[in-house]
Amino acid sequence: METADHEVLRTAVDWLTTGEPVYLATVARTFGSSPRLPGSLAVLRADGRFAGSVSGGCMEDDLVTRLRNGRLPEKFPAIITYGVTREEAQRFGLPCGGKLELVLEKLESATSLKSILEKIDARQQVLRRVCLDTGEASLHPAVDREEFFYDGQNLRKLFGPGWRLLLIGAGQLSRFVAQMGQALDYEVIVCEPREELASLWQVNGATLDTGMPDDAVRVLADERCAVLALTHDPKLDDMALLEALASPAFYVGALGSWANNDKRRARLATLGVPRENLARLHGPIGLPIGSKTPAEVAVAVLAGVTAARHGIVLETGTQDAPARLKAGG
């Protein structure tokens, strides 16, 4: 699945090869309510075409109008602010008097953008830094998980592959998780070696892998992947978990009750999984929201994955004292 950033960069590269002026807009800072988060991107050109989004469309249209009328700043990168007055906030769709600050760059070469795309395709991360004083844009290794930074002088944005869900098992719960996961912009891969279940899989957009779970995890489980063991079959779930708990996957979870997960941890321990790796296992999987139906369980599962993705960790819970959320990460 192509992420929004990937689409913007690929479009910019395509347009730059035609020799037309191309401009990159980044949401640098927001105040109050705003339609897009800092780090959101849009690329545009003078004929009115644009890809990505820094608003609901009004600001992109305004930028194109400025470009056509020769009203863009003379020096780039430039800071453009929207929503300073109540009238502007209403005009540009900024609710409650919101304010949005954009950094606008004029792109001259596709070389560095191609390098970013190559990193993304290789499921690697890279940091792009823009110095507003000099206009220099440079690429650097990703050294931490900070996805975006802006202080008025420097803009740093982390580019990397999209988030991935690796689901073990193609049962009813996996269908709900796959559908909801795609709505949350996850690439969804379902591993189901059981022919009778694999033949029934019909979720559009989700990739079906009919190989063995441990093989799938070894190939696919990187730091932007969550591995969810959902088969209720220890022979398959345990194979996946053996590999997943030793992988850099940011979330590893297994379906089942507290009692079943205690038994699972005991089995994995006898197979040589270290205690610190077992501590990574979210089992029961997801957040304790009282879910009963498969759809509700899918909501709980994806809520737990989303919390981990955003650095919200769970205090250790037990069957009698359920886990509680706390900020961290």
The arrangement of strands across the sheet holding 99-107 comes to 50-52, 41-45, 22-31, 99-107, 78-82
**Domain 164-327, architecture per CATH:** 3-Layer(aba) Sandwich (3.40)
Residue 327 has pLDDT above 70, yes or no: no
The lowest-confidence range among 26-35, 65-74, 294-303 is 26-35
> Which two tokens mark 198?
């694999």
Give the model confidence (pLDDT) of 2-23 as tens digits: 788 999 999 999 999 988 889 9
CB–CB of 27/56 below 8 Å?
no
Residue 37 pLDDT: 87
Residue 329 — very low, low, confident or very high, per pLDDT cuts 50/70/90?
Answer: very low
Phi and psi at residue 76, in whole multiples of 5°? -125, 150
Residue 53 Cα distances to 27, 136, 144, 274, angstroms: 9, 23, 26, 45
Res. 181 pLDDT band, cuts 50 70 90? very high
Span 76-109, pLDDT tens digits? 999 999 876 666 666 665 555 568 899 999 999 9
Q: What ranges do the domains of the chain cover? A: 4-159, 164-327
Q: What is each CA distance from 255 to 12, 222, 235, 263, 276, in whole angstroms?
A: 43, 21, 14, 12, 20
**Three-state SS letters, the chain:** CCCHHHHHHHHHHHHHCCCCCEEEEEEEEEECCCCCCCCCEEEEECCCCEEECCCCCHHHHHHHHHHHCCCCCCCCCEEEEECCCHHHHHHCCCHHHCEEEEEEEEECCCHHHHHHHHHHHCCCCEEEEEECCCCCEEEEECCCCCCEEECCCEEEEEECCCCEEEEECCCHHHHHHHHHHHHCCCEEEEECCCHHHHCCCCCCCCEEECCCHHHHHHHHCCCCEEEEECCCCHHHHHHHHHHHCCCCCCEEEECCCHHHHHHHHHHHHHCCCCHHHHCCEECCCCCCCCCCCHHHHHHHHHHHHHHHHCCEEECCCCCCCCCCEEECC
Dist CA 201 CA 206 (whole Å): 9
What distance in Å separates the CA atoms of residue 230 and residue 194, rounded to the nearest whole number? 13
Query: Where is mean pLDDT largest: 69-73, 119-123, 219-223?
Result: 219-223
pLDDT mean across residues, the chain: 89
